[in-house]
Amino acid sequence: MSQSPDISVVVPVFDEEGAAPALAREIAAAFAGRQVEIIFVDDASRDGTRAALAALKAEIPQLRVLSHRRNSGQSRAIRSGVMAARAPVIVTLDGDGQNDPADGPALVEALLAGGPDLAMVGGERVRRQDSRAKKVASRLGNGVRKRLLRDTADDTGCGLKAFRREAFLRLPYFDHIHRYLPALMLREGYRVEFRPVGHRHRQTGRSKYTNLGRLWASASDLLGVMWLQSRSRLPQGVDEV
């Protein structure tokens, strides 16, 4: 790329050989005309995800492909991408193709229009294309989390988000942090907002999560984030004299 990017799109993928190439092309089309880099982070896939993405680099010059040597989870893949990103604004999407990249630019515009204290604009999925059981579990989990953490978010499970790289790197890292970004951004004194975004059927592959697995992880995560909130002391600004 001849210029430094203004936007870095970070996509974590694990065993998404069927979805990743088409998604990369959609992202390139959605952000056409902008200074953007597209970073796919392969979380040690067992299929041909990495090779399929690498084969696209000649077609999509903005594409970068990072690869974990060991599977480390979605949150770590997102962090690896953000650490490698060269732009001040990050857009994240899930790698399964259910997020529509066409919604990404609107989140970026809302973020940039909101002033420097607006650290994140998160997507909230409308007309979710998931099973009834998954939607019910998500609604219950989001309700409990929102009540306990007071993070104002109705759908933290939506992978489509736009946020400031600097703000993200201020947050304490832990596995599954991607579900608690609103609460942690608020903890640092930033503002967060949300916008409705579309949601699509998964066309290939299968989900890497189960309702039971999420429930088990969420219990300890919630307690941890509540502890972090209780130990936060904000100076309300820093002045140099």
Q: If pLDDT is split at 50, 70 and 90, which confidence band does 142 have?
A: confident
Average pLDDT over residues 75-100: 97
Least confident of 43-57, 62-76, 208-222, 226-240: 208-222
Question: 217 vs 10, which has greater pLDDT?
Answer: 10
pLDDT at 207: 65
Average pLDDT of 81-110? 97
Three-class HEC string of the chain: CCCCCCEEEEEEECCCCCCHHHHHHHHHHHCCCCCEEEEEEECCCCCCHHHHHHCCCCCCCCEEEEECCCCCCHHHHHHHHHHHCCCCEEEECCCCCCCCHHHHHHHHHHHHHCCCCEEEEEEEECCCCCCHHHHHHHHHHHHHHHHHHCCCCCCCCCCCEEEEHHHHHCCCCCCCHHHCHHHHHHHCCCEEEEEEECCCCCCCCCCCCCHHHHHHHHHHHHHHHHHHHHCCCCCCCCCCC
Q: How far apart are CA 42 and CA 15, in angstroms?
A: 8
Report the pLDDT value the prediction gives residue 130, as an integer from 0 to 100. Answer: 65
Q: Which CATH number fits domain 7-230: 3.40.47.10, 3.90.550.10, 3.30.70.260, 3.40.605.10?
A: 3.90.550.10
- Of residues 26, 36, 146, 32, the one with CA closest to residue 87: 36
19 contacts 94 by C-beta, under 8 angstroms: no
Q: Residue type at 32?
A: A
Domain definitions of the chain by residue range: 7-230
Residues 199-217 have a mean pLDDT of 68
The confidence band for 1, taking pLDDT boundaries of 50, 70 and 90, is: low
pLDDT for position 205: 64
Q: What is the pLDDT of residue 208?
A: 59
Residue 25 has pLDDT above 90, yes or no: yes
Model pTM greater than 0.85? yes
